[in-house]
Amino acid sequence: MKVLLINPLTPEKRMIHNTPNLGLGYIATALRKNGFSVEVCDGMKKGMTNKKLIDRLMRADYDVAGCQVYTCSLKESLEILKLIKSKNPGCITVAGGPHPSGDPEQVLTDLTEADFAFRGEAEEGLPKLLNKLAGHQECAFEEIPNLVRRDKDRILCNPLQPVENLDSLGMPSWDLIAPNEYPNAPIGAFARNFPLTTISCTRGCAHYCTFCANTRIMGRKLRARSSQSILAEMQLLYYDHGIREFQIIDDCFTSNRTIAMEVCRGIIESGMEISISFPNGVRIESLDEELLQSLEQAGCYSLGMAIETGSQRIMDHMRRGQTLEMIRDQVAMVRRACNIRMTGFFIIGYPEEKVEDVLETIRLSRSLPFSRANFTLWMPVPGSEMTEKLRKEGKLKDVDPDRIVINKISYVSENMTWDQMRKYFIKAYAGFYLRPAIIIGLLREIRSFEQFKYIMTRVFKLFFVKSE
């Protein structure tokens, strides 16, 4: 059986950050281990256009098409699945990724042309499903981890079942998601070294933040690969693909201190000269001086710090389990312990927020010794506790899935207006970045004209493109 894995993206929606698609890479490995042949068609790759993607689909030489679905690509996914079914009616179509994971009960109703879907990880379930359909293996649908399927007029979702042993997955099929096939557009504008790739070392998170749906994908238990497996992958990427910077995309890498320390030691002993960054915010209480110094020695120069809000009331509502005092103390500790540059991550427009809370967030962002700040407009991502609550209250009927992206307003809370959201979003960025020390720091880090152009594009998109 030949499987085509797709991440649909129209050129108009081309994202600012483009990095190798680890999800499709891992699924490809699992399928290959089971004897399936696999191709990856990722809309994020260099030079990829919608036309090229459609041309590829038109060849119809595949038996199975797996489509990665983000909420913002729900419409494109449906179009692509329709096209596949019209050209290749016998093809088995499967949807997976963040959107089906957040909304498993609804996804097959929205994606009428998908035969099956998966919630969460699909490395175990997808090969099992295809082996069953191909008649290679007998098993009941109920035994297929994370499967979502139709049964007459019902949608049946198997329970979320995270993979127990991450080492058993092996590595993503790097030949199919080769870092050099992606543009130099890392997460966060300022990478230090190229070529660069993302890498995943742990999965899952044990916390309960109300705005987040990540645990609907990877579950509520933090699982880690062994340090040996992580180091072997880094070495392969370093020597075979020439990678010089790793962006660790885990939600909670530093929360497993043992593995984090082992990985740092392994990198230092290996002699690899690499830089490392954490483009997602880490849990701030997971950091201590010894760990930070080891990270720095291993090559870490940039750490995202998940702060989220400057209002204790909102922080409690978000169930972060943190206090502003603890945040100030930990940030000061990081500053003392190492020279790793810090980026603060904040949310603006959380449904319970009032203007005073947003102003507190803006004040906090400026008062902490951050070199960068990232303000994300709150998004009703399917599967988060807050989204589910608003949905039950009937308040999300008008949300356009296309707008579930980081810098578009997709939902306006009852305590604020659309104009206020826009105004405070810009005020937050301007208030943080338009300070001489920050500007000089940023200018010092621009290493090429290409990077300068890329940063200017981001600034333009942020401030000048109307989001309505």
215 binds, among ligand B12, ligand SF4, none (CB under 5 to 8 A by kind): ligand SF4
Taking each helix axis as running N to C, give the angle between helix 257-270 and helix 289-298, from 0 to 180 degrees, rounded to the nearest 10.
30
Helix/strand/coil for 243: coil
Distance (Å, whole) CA 19 – CA 191: 12
The site map against ligand B12 for 211-250 (x = CB under 6 A) is --xx--xx------------------------------x-
- Which 3 state secondary structure label does DSSP give 265? helix
- Contact partner at residue 207 from ligand B12, ligand SF4, none, CB < 5 to 8 Å by partner kind: ligand SF4
The answer to the question of residue 26 lying near ligand B12 (CB under 6 A) is: yes
Site string for ligand B12, 361-390 (x = CB under 6 A): --------------------xx--------
Q: Work out whether 260 is an interface residue with ligand B12 (CB under 6 A).
A: no
Rounded Cα distance between 462 and 468, Å, is 13
- Ranges within 272-301 binding ligand B12 (CB under 6 A): 280
Q: Contact between 93 and ligand B12 (CB under 6 A)?
A: no
With beta carbons less than 8 A apart as the criterion, state whether 108 and 149 touch: yes
Alpha helices in 8-73 (DSSP H): 22-33, 50-58
Q: Which of 53, 94, 107, 176 binds ligand B12 (CB under 6 A)?
A: 94
Of 200 and 256, CB closest to ligand B12: 200
Helix axes 289-298, 324-337, angle to 10 degrees: 50
Binding track over 249-288 against ligand SF4, x by CB under 6 A: --x-------------------------------x-----
| β-strand pairing of 147-151 with 116-118 | antiparallel
Contact between 227 and 268 under an 8 Å Cβ cutoff? The reply is no
Burial pattern 444-453, b for ≥16 Cβ within 10 A else e, equals ebeeeeebee
Whose structure tokens read 């109307």? 466
Query: 67 contacts which partner out of ligand B12, ligand SF4, none, CB within 5 to 8 A by kind?
Result: ligand B12
Q: How many Å apart are CA 313 and CA 430, to the nearest integer?
A: 25
Residue 407 CB: number of other CB atoms within 10 A?
Answer: 16
One residue of 29, 48, 84, 102 binding ligand B12 per CB under 6 A: 102
Give min distance, CB of 336 to ligand B12, in A: 29
Applying CB under 6 A, the residues found at the interface with ligand B12 are 7, 9, 15, 17-19, 21-24, 26-27, 44, 66-68, 70-73, 94, 96-99, 101-102, 118, 121-123, 126, 187, 198, 200, 213-214, 217-218, 249, 251, 280, 381-382, 404-406
Applying CB under 6 A, the residues found at the interface with ligand SF4 are 205, 207, 209, 212, 214-215, 251, 283
